Chain A
């Protein structure tokens, strides 16, 4: 196998160009009309919305909890949880914004993506734990006079949610392992 020959063949490839023409035309139209957005933009928008939602919900929840007669400590606990989630989402939002494919090198992108996935994993684990505790406390506070049917239902729901969350986490962990391997590969030989 002669690599120099193959190099020439690689460079002269244009067989697919005619196939690309139609696709390019369609892409051009869609991109100019903002009909296509990147995965990164979608993630940025999602976390932007989640951040705003968490910050807006903090006072709303505190006030509405007090209005329906929930204990002050529980209302404060809920508000603090929402606030923490807001800051966590903002942190993730900033991390995603940092990963600009046109400005960073492959190594930098891999480092940043690894950092992002690790942070998302940690934040999700922490928020799942905190949410579980807060939900249980909330249901406990709502149960009156020894009627614990609501609490049992709530705990069941929380456990199902936890199982779904943990399954999702397993796939995220696999992604983290793959990025780590790629980063290790990119840092090899230095």
Chain B
């Protein structure tokens, strides 16, 4: 249990250091700018509420991933059926330094967007260099399952990206 002051401090830390994580997760589960904004607000509200009981057993970033992915997975369905076509405004998110890398990243975003919600969660955490144990903790899947599924997702992404 956190006191109100600790909670505010933790929340400030999340906003200043970890908000890109929340942003990226919401980005991958949203189908447009408006939905992204709603998801981001819903995730942050859940984070703010959840901080009351955050005990620090898990890393802050792992706990954030869990909170945001769970929020997105339970929220996205409301608009999913209305907007089945994924449209990602890549231009606002991608680094502009290297055009070929930026193009690859654009392709990758679109490929990840086409994955199932659970596969999306797995690959996002892998991209952020989370360990298999952390991914297993967030998803609730056994470590071996995480490893084998990630192998399959990665080869599928490469295959799709090269085709």
Contact = CB atoms under 8 A, between A and B. Distances in A.
Nearest to B100: A5
Contacts of B96: 15
B93 A107 contact: no
Given A109-B73, A189-B148, A14 B20 contact: yes
A108 interface: yes
17 contacts: A10-B108, A11-B129, A13-B20, A24-B19, A38-B49, A101-B71, A102-B53, A103-B50, A104-B140, A105-B137, A106-B70, A106-B73, A107-B141, A110-B73, A186-B118, A189-B148, A190-B142
A5 B49 CA distance: 36
A102 B63 CA distance: 6
B35 interface: no
Contacts of B140: 104-108, 186
A109 B70 contact: yes
B139 A15 contact: no
Given A178-B80, A190-B142, A7 B127 contact: yes
Interface string A30-57: 0110001111110000000000000000
B contacts with A: majority SS:
helix
Interface in B57-92: 63, 66-71, 73-75, 77, 80-81, 92
Interface residues of B, number: 68
A178 B77 contact: yes
Contacts of B44: 24, 27, 31
Nearest to B160: A1
